[in-house]
Amino acid sequence: MMAGSVARPPAALLVLAVAVAVLVLLPVASTLFEAAQVSGAEAAELLFRPLVGKLLINTVGLALATTLVTAVIGTACAWAVERTRLPGRAVWRVLAVVPLAVPPFISSYAWVSLSSALQDFWGALLVVSGAYYPLVYLPVAAALRGMDPALEESARLLGHGPWRCFFAVVLRQLRPALLGGMLLVALHMLGEFGAFTLLRFRTFTTELYAEYRTGFDGPGASLLAVVLLVLCLICVVAEMRVRAASRYARLGRGTRRRASPHELGLATLPVLAGFAALVVATLGVPLGMILYWLTQHGAAAITPASVSLDRMADATLASVWLSAAGAGVTVLLALPLAFLAARHPGWASTFLERAAYLTQGVPAIVVALALIGLTLGAVPPLYQSAGLLIFAYAILCLPLALVSVRAAFLQAERTLEEMARGLGLGWAAVLWRVVLPLAGAGIGAAAALVFVAVVTELTATLLLAPIGTRTLATEVWANTSTLAFAAAAPYAALMAALSLLSTWLLARRFGGGTLAAA
């Protein structure tokens, strides 16, 4: 077989990928089935209401604005950290990811506490952009570290200036990571619930929650969820068409060398000021409000039981083990899909990969309720079990893992695999000894992203957690929903600390310093 040719995928790999896609699409299938129960007249009456038009404008407008803002911020931060002599770059590398440790509903409360005027489109844009730009930063930064600097050097020798070199050479090589990150941002925004509830900004997710809470109208709410599925499908197709079938690879770790960092010169102070403003907006305000409420016990509703050490320890342990299990299961599910898409491109791999992304556009409340209906009808013992909750985490977070793992497989040159097979190694040995080490950064980033996402996940945990199970996220929500902001502060502080520490450790262990200083 010639290098670069596309071989037929192994049957076992294809079966695994199909099985994963079927499992993660079960909630979607259940939602579509429920929506099909609505008659044509009822569907028209529901979908053509003025409210639905307003929800569509709010959702689509915010999704477009958030995606563009996060693309600019994430790419600029990644370039400054990875390719310039930015003072304190090791610190900025960590701070650029820390916003993932702060749930959007915590950020939304912090900003609303400062000014109720932010309960509108601009407030929602501020909160979700600050929360989601790391989803662009992480894959773009990983791609910059893996990119061959010879491409830029050749462009410079041909007379290209810094800006032309960036847009004509670097940005083209970043396309898979950048578009993948933008897709994640758009899909996350489509499924966001907690932040918009506190910001009083109405989207399809908030309306779905209202539908379920007021009348538990499964078919009617499922019809609204189908609209979200359509929006999600549009995002996926648009990303696929723009990215097209381009391939990006480098020869493995043995020939890699680091790019020479650029001098910022007079731009040093403006860049540092920009990073400082970003950190204040995304971390300073939320963490500052947490610190404020930690010192306001006498000014807010609080009970001794809500902040007991035993209760805090139980919530922390539950968050850690559920997040670790969720990260492990999600990465395992992502591996066959990502490897199939990277090494055996075609209509089948494209369909399976894109089908998995659809789950990100479905609100967590819809996924959770669909799983409740499926388990009660087919496997009652799984209802309100830890296994069902972990499975829900894997469904919701699979796109997070797919983006990083697929990009890592694309950058691992397949010629090395063919050489290993030529030396007599079997398929399993090649995967373990060649492919996975080359893809270590992507797998580490995927595990870190999923871990942090599960630590801060709220909706599915509220609905699916076993009776008596409390996590840091549910404790924060329970206290903030009753205006006990001081009681919520210790759990919010623990959640932020745990997310930051776990992100750094996981990325360093599996990704060779993905988030730490290199």
Most confident of 59-63, 224-228, 395-399: 59-63
Mean pLDDT for the stretch of residues 100-122: 80
Mean pLDDT for the stretch of residues 303-330: 81
Query: Residue 69 pLDDT > 90, yes or no?
Result: yes
Mean pLDDT for the stretch of residues 116-122: 82
pLDDT at 510: 46
| Domain contains 414 | yes
Query: Residue 4 pLDDT > 70, yes or no?
Result: no
Confidence class for position 3, pLDDT limits 50, 70, 90:
very low
Query: Residue 113 pLDDT > 80, yes or no?
Result: no
Copy the structure tokens of residue 289. Answer: 């409000």
Give residue-wise pLDDT tens across range 80-102.
Answer: 888 788 888 888 888 888 787 77
* C-alpha distances in Å from residue 78, one per residue of 93, 96, 137: 8, 9, 6
How many CB atoms neighbour CB 174 within 10 A?
A: 23
pLDDT at 511: 41
How many domains does the chain divide into? 1
Q: Which residues does residue 262 pair with via DSSP β-bridges, in sequence order? A: 84
Region of 512 on the Ramachandran plot (φ > 0 left; ψ -120 to 50 alpha; else beta): left
| Domain contains 176 | yes
Mean pLDDT for the stretch of residues 72-77: 90
Confidence class for position 70, pLDDT limits 50, 70, 90:
very high
Confidence class for position 62, pLDDT limits 50, 70, 90:
very high
Query: Residue 426 pLDDT > 70, yes or no?
Result: no
Higher local confidence (pLDDT), 377 or 54: 54
* C-alpha distances in Å from residue 219, one per residue of 30, 118, 195: 10, 34, 25
pLDDT at 505: 64
Query: Residue 516 pLDDT > 50, yes or no?
Result: no
pLDDT at 470: 87
| Domain contains 271 | no
Cα–Cα distance for residue pair 188/363, rounded to 1 Å: 9
Cα–Cα distance for residue pair 405/227, rounded to 1 Å: 29
| Domain contains 170 | yes
Give residue-wise pLDDT tens across range 183-206.
Answer: 888 888 887 877 887 788 888 888
pLDDT at 322: 92
DSSP 193: -
Cα–Cα distance for residue pair 221/76, rounded to 1 Å: 39
Higher local confidence (pLDDT), 320 or 109: 320
pLDDT at 148: 63
Query: Residue 487 pLDDT > 90, yes or no?
Result: no
Higher local confidence (pLDDT), 147 or 458: 458
| Domain contains 256 | no
| Domain contains 259 | no
> Which residue range is the domain that position 300 belongs to?
11-243+276-511
Confidence class for position 65, pLDDT limits 50, 70, 90:
very high
Query: For residue 329, what is the domain's CATH number?
Result: 1.10.3720.10
pLDDT at 512: 39
| Domain contains 140 | yes
Contact 461, 166 (CB under 8 A): no
Confidence class for position 168, pLDDT limits 50, 70, 90:
low
Query: Residue 400 pLDDT > 70, yes or no?
Result: yes
Give residue-wise pLDDT tens across range 122-164.
Answer: 989 999 999 899 888 888 887 777 776 666 666 666 655 566 6
Query: Residue 6 pLDDT > 60, yes or no?
Result: no
Higher local confidence (pLDDT), 213 or 491: 491
| Domain contains 258 | no
Mean pLDDT for the stretch of residues 466-470: 85
- Average pLDDT across the chain, whole number: 77
